[in-house]
Amino acid sequence: MSLLIDIDRFLRKSGMTPTSFGRAAVNDPRFVFDLRRGRTPGPGIRARTRAFIAACRNGNARCG
């Protein structure tokens, strides 16, 4: 499944804004907007993003 689809699903379920997500997940507030415009993240950024989503689903406090 696409990283952007996973992020969009997470944002809908969590109510987190794209800016907050990008800042918390990869320290880049424009991350989600850039993905929507075609940015292709490297494997490290993809792994960090998926790890952040997984941590939030497991109740990590920094997720809001």
In tens, the pLDDT along 27-49 reads 999 999 999 999 999 999 999 99
SS3 label, residue 55: helix
Domain carrying residue 39: 3-63
What is the value of pTM for the model shown?
0.91
- If one compares 19 and 60, the residue with the highest pLDDT of the two is 19
Do residues 22 and 31 lie in contact, with contact meaning Cβ atoms separated by under 8 Å? yes
Residues belonging to the chain: 64
What residues have CB less than 8 Å from 30, skipping those under 6 apart?
19, 22
**For the chain, what is the domain count?**
1
Do residues 21 and 31 lie in contact, with contact meaning Cβ atoms separated by under 8 Å? yes
Q: How far apart are CA 2 and CA 38, in angstroms?
A: 12
